[in-house]
Amino acid sequence: MPPVPNPNSKYDYHNDDTEAGGGQVIQLCKELDILICLLCPVAIKPRVDQVENHYRHRHKTARRQLQEVIAFAASFSPSSGSQPLALRDPTDKDIELPADGGPPIPGLEIYAGFSCKSCRHLTRDRSNRDRHQILSKHHEEGDDKDEDDEDKDDEGKRDARSCEKELGRAAAEQRRKVEAPGGGKDKLALHRAGLSPIPKTSELKLWKQEARDANARLRALVESFRRELARGLERLDRVPDETLKWLGSIDATKPVTKPFGHKQEAATMERYSADWERYLCYCARVWPLGREGAQEEHGIRFTDEQWGHLVDVIRQLDIVADYNKRREEDQRQRRRQLQQQQNQKSNSNREGEAVSDTDFDSDIDSDIDSDVNSDVNNDVAALDQAVCRFCISSIKQKLGRKQYRNPLLHFTAVLGIKEDGNWVPAHSHTRFLAGFLWCGRVLMLEHFFEDDPYDSEDSACETSFAAIERFHKGHHEWLTSGSYSPFGTIIRWMTYGRGYRNHEEGQARLWWDSDGKTVNYLGDSITVAGFQSTAQAVLQEAEDWLDRLIGGRWKKGELQQTVRLRDIADSLVYEGPGQSFTTNRKNAWLQPGAEKLADIIGKRLWKMTNAGNGSKRYTCRRGAVIEYLGWLKLFRTKMYPATHIWGGQPGRGPEVATLKHCDIEQLPKNIFVFDGQVVIITDRDKSKGLSGGTGGRKVARFLPERLSRMMVAYIAWLLPFEKVLHRLAGIRGPSDSLDPWVWKSAEKGIWDTAILSKQLALVSGVEIGARLTVSSYRHVAVEMGRKIKGLIIRQIDLEAAEADSDNEVADPITGERRRQPRVEYVWDSQATHGSRIARGHYGVNLQFPNQLQPEMMSNYQEISRLWHQFLARTDGDFGERKRPAEIISTAVVNKAIKRQ
């Protein structure tokens, strides 16, 4: 039976202004000369192939009804139709729409929406309307119209109101433009010119074909820069480490200690690359204005060399973009041909209709890829070379006082403009500068060693050292502080920005109510009791999922009591790759591995079948295994925030995201069992990694006993069992290289801070009505911790462990390193060494990692214990606190003791 229109629709499909066909699933609106799909209902594009594609793929229309729809659309074709008519494309922005406020178009739904008072901008989303009014400054005009209707009889008030409106418009115009030589520049226009191209998947949302073509050109330009950056990153592995140390240095007289290289996270390199990509898109967008026009309208200047290289980039970009466009058109044409062939075959075979588009795409791509010839590869290589030369010319320019005459430095200022026309805060702008420095170093390294076959069989010492000498000369001339180059300017700006950021105090975000039990964070009220219930809820949910994973035997105590934390033997020092408490022979009683859970719930997940030769074999119940793995993923998503919340005072997201349960090459694990508790040891220095005895300062966070048992069960039983299930069922799981990490999945790899923020927002949104992310939770938790009695203990011991590491601090204004006094203890002086040497080299306890000696571990354990007690409370209080009288009397006693 053919599909019918929506029965709840309010329209009559057979009135005088419409003509229906195709079994009442398509109709013609004679008023606008457009085709309307009655199943959506929306207006559709008029070409026959577009109509066929809409009904075939969106509504799965087939056979006779599809042929009727195609015949109805073809009947209006000017060449062969029975009733020729020039149908309109509804996506054409130039189409003449009916008068605003007119009667509804039959066949189209009527939606409730919002409109702008100034220009009748229509939308179904209130936020879209508000955003339109803010960006177009129509909210001010709308307010003015409302004011004009008031007090019309009072001429004096009208004059005052008119003057006030003129002043407001002048102020708005002044805010919209930024002062520059030659006149003010429109900040929003500058911001829009520097945006990245939208992804290919979103390109079809653009209305005009010209916009889609322009976006495709910019995507080709971005891909070219990424290829050049990748080529430069490959060069990092083919030059000496000494060269990389000089590359990372901003001082022309000495190298840095750590070689320049990849960033720890791929997302950081992608963000840095995006800054240069936006710069190239900005230059490509201003190129049509001409050199003089770009300077007049945007304030950007190019040297003769830079403009010549930009012309080469645009010329090669046009060639590559035109080829890509022809290739996509050929691809669509071949897809239509294959679909027509498949439709002919499907007349006799009903199953032929189920062929997916992906099969078509793979066939088409293979056919087209085979047609790519050497000419196209040469054009792409020429584009990459032109992009590289333009980037290098943007860096190699000598500057005096007029620094913004360099196009790259001009664009760094453009990046300081936000979408609403305001300025990016100073503490956030340095990330753009860091991106230009990092990518610029990679490009310049490839530029200096471009023709050198270093580390290859054809390499000659003379050639390699000539390239190294060329690198040192270029590094001194272009890449160091005080080189009168864009790099020198960016380095100076970053130094100033770092000093400003260190000097700038944090923004006030929260305050307490008078009752002392409710904290307000950016307008959200968070009660102490609600905060405690949130922590308890996430822990309870994790335990519920663990109980389900272990066949309901965890809450009963059968397996929970077998995890005797004080009997688990573990070492806090590095033991070797793959080593943890689960590999310690003394913990054999714990039965780590997959066998324990296989014995408990194995019968649910696989069955015994005949092997065919009289023997038996086990076969996985794939559906049950998939369901079990889904439970394990849900348990992991609850255990993730529970570990972050209950560990103590919260750290940064990467600290908990990159936890390792066993040692890897040259890096120790983060999870240990110590004194009957699971302890998480991470590096507290943001710029350093946890690298054993040579790493930064460490911090320890202890989990409560309940959560410690769950963590041991997860590491000792669930992780090995998960790996076995993936292997037996043939289901793709996390890569073997990710085995040491605790939070991971096949889809995401190692989990990041975004996943933790999502889970925290979900549980906090339900429990307290405020969606806390990692950043906002950290603010609230730190403020809660300040109210807990005794949380800050033995401060003199904590300071003693920190007063040392390098006896330098940053100048609050310039960011430069300054010497500071060092704390020395008399017993260390008597032993003829300093306190720093004593803590690092003498009497170091073998059981503890670097800078986490017994006193520090005891302090961290006490802090975690007080935090656990606070979260476990249900009365919304912080615990016993001293009364004011007790505080005064204690102070008096302390003073008396000091006098004695």
Q: Dump the DSSP string for 453-522.
A: -TTSTT--HHHHHHHHHHHHHHHHHHSSTTSSSHHHHHHHHHHHHHHHHHHSPPPP-EEE-TTSSEEEET
Q: Which of 732, 710, 712, 725 is closest to 594 using CA atoms?
A: 725
For residues 87-95, give the mean pLDDT. Answer: 76
For residues 570-578, give the mean pLDDT. Answer: 88
Q: Assign 284 to helix, strand or coil.
A: helix
Percent of the chain with pLDDT over 70: 76
pLDDT for the residue numbered 92: 76
Residue 193 included in any domain: no
Query: For the chain, what is the mean pLDDT?
Result: 79
User: If pLDDT is split at 50, 70 and 90, which confidence band does 810 have?
Assistant: very low
Q: Is the pLDDT of residue 536 over 90?
A: yes
Asked whether residue 756 falls in the same domain as residue 608, the answer is yes
pLDDT for the residue numbered 205: 77
CB atoms closer than 10 angstroms to residue 95: 13
User: If pLDDT is split at 50, 70 and 90, which confidence band does 435 have?
Assistant: very high
User: Distance of CA 737 to CAs 138, 597, 733, 744, Å?
Assistant: 55, 24, 11, 11
Asked whether residue 499 falls in the same domain as residue 535, the answer is no
pLDDT for the residue numbered 584: 93
pLDDT for the residue numbered 506: 63
For residues 677-702, give the mean pLDDT. Answer: 69
Asked whether residue 454 falls in the same domain as residue 577, the answer is no
CA dist., res. 379 & res. 324, Å (int): 12
**Hey, what long-range contacts does 764-770 have (CB within 8 A, 24 or more apart)?**
764/534, 766/537, 767/530, 767/533, 767/534, 767/537, 768/526, 768/527, 768/530, 768/531, 768/533, 768/534, 769/524, 769/525, 769/530, 770/521, 770/524, 770/525, 770/526
pLDDT for the residue numbered 246: 94
Residue 217 included in any domain: yes
Q: Are strands 26-29 and 18-21 parallel, antiparallel or unpaired?
A: antiparallel
Torsion of CA 539, 544, 546, 550, to 10 degrees: 160
For the stretch 26-76, pLDDT in tens is 888 877 778 888 888 788 887 888 888 888 888 888 888 888 888 888 887
pLDDT for the residue numbered 334: 86
For residues 633-649, give the mean pLDDT. Answer: 94
Q: Is the pLDDT of residue 739 over 80?
A: yes
User: If pLDDT is split at 50, 70 and 90, which confidence band does 547 have?
Assistant: very high
Residue 53 included in any domain: no
Q: Is the pLDDT of residue 797 over 50?
A: no
- Bridge partners (DSSP) listed for residue 122: 115
Q: Is the pLDDT of residue 640 over 70?
A: yes
Q: Is the pLDDT of residue 452 over 60?
A: yes
Between residues 414 and 169, the one the model is more confident about: 414
pLDDT for the residue numbered 849: 55
- Residue 48 half-sphere exposure, CB side, CA atoms within 13 Å? 17
Q: Is the pLDDT of residue 306 over 90?
A: yes
Q: Which of 445, 390, 376, 377 is closest to 231 using CA atoms?
A: 445
pLDDT for the residue numbered 284: 95
Asked whether residue 406 falls in the same domain as residue 524, the answer is no
Asked whether residue 669 falls in the same domain as residue 789, the answer is yes
List the structure tokens of 297: 């309208």
Residue 535 included in any domain: yes
Asked whether residue 635 falls in the same domain as residue 691, the answer is yes
Asked whether residue 242 falls in the same domain as residue 308, the answer is yes
Query: Range of 694's domain?
Result: 518-872
- The H-or-E segment that residue 288 falls in is none
Q: Is the pLDDT of residue 880 over 90?
A: no
pLDDT for the residue numbered 66: 86
Return the DSSP state at 27.
Answer: E
For residues 889-898, give the mean pLDDT. Answer: 42
pLDDT for the residue numbered 315: 94
Between residues 28 and 600, the one the model is more confident about: 600
For residues 709-734, give the mean pLDDT. Answer: 93
For residues 492-513, give the mean pLDDT. Answer: 77
Secondary structure of the chain: what % helix, strand, coil (to 5)?
Answer: 55, 10, 35
- Bridge partners (DSSP) listed for residue 892: none
Q: Is the pLDDT of residue 221 over 80?
A: yes
Tell me the residue ranges of DSSP E strands in 738-844.
744-745, 749-750, 808-810, 817-819
Asked whether residue 493 falls in the same domain as residue 625, the answer is no
Asked whether residue 272 falls in the same domain as residue 300, the answer is yes
Residue 654 included in any domain: yes
Q: Is the pLDDT of residue 215 over 50?
A: yes
CA dist., res. 608 & res. 248, Å (int): 61
Asked whether residue 640 falls in the same domain as residue 725, the answer is yes
pLDDT for the residue numbered 879: 67
Asked whether residue 481 falls in the same domain as residue 617, the answer is no
Q: What spatial distance separates the first Cα and last Cα of the chain, rounded to whole Å?
A: 102
Residue 140 included in any domain: no
List the structure tokens of 305: 């060399």
pLDDT for the residue numbered 189: 86
User: If pLDDT is split at 50, 70 and 90, which confidence band does 719 have?
Assistant: very high
Between residues 751 and 801, the one the model is more confident about: 751
Give the predicted TM-score (pTM) of the model: 0.63
Which sign, positive or negative, has the C-alpha torsion 361, 364, 366, 369? negative
Q: Assign 96 to helix, strand or coil.
A: coil
Asked whether residue 495 falls in the same domain as residue 522, the answer is no
CA dist., res. 215 & res. 213, Å (int): 5
For the stretch 184-201, pLDDT in tens is 678 888 889 999 999 888
Tell me the residue ranges of DSSP E strands in 172-299.
177-178, 185-186
Do residues 718 and 639 make contact, with C-beta atoms less than 8 angstroms apart?
no
Residue 499 included in any domain: yes
Identify whether 106 is preceded by a cis peptide bond (ω within 30 of 0). Answer: no
Q: Is the pLDDT of residue 337 over 80?
A: yes
Between residues 299 and 821, the one the model is more confident about: 299
Return the DSSP state at 198.
Answer: P
For residues 432-461, give the mean pLDDT. Answer: 80
Residue 602 included in any domain: yes
Most confident of 178-182, 312-316, 750-754: 312-316
Instruction: Name the domain count of the chain.
Output: 2
Between residues 200 and 671, the one the model is more confident about: 671
3-state secondary structure 680-691: EEEECCCCCCCC
CB under 8 Å to 738, separation ≥6 — which residues? 744, 749, 750
Q: Is the pLDDT of residue 754 over 60?
A: yes
For residues 636-659, give the mean pLDDT. Answer: 91
Percent of the chain with pLDDT over 90: 34
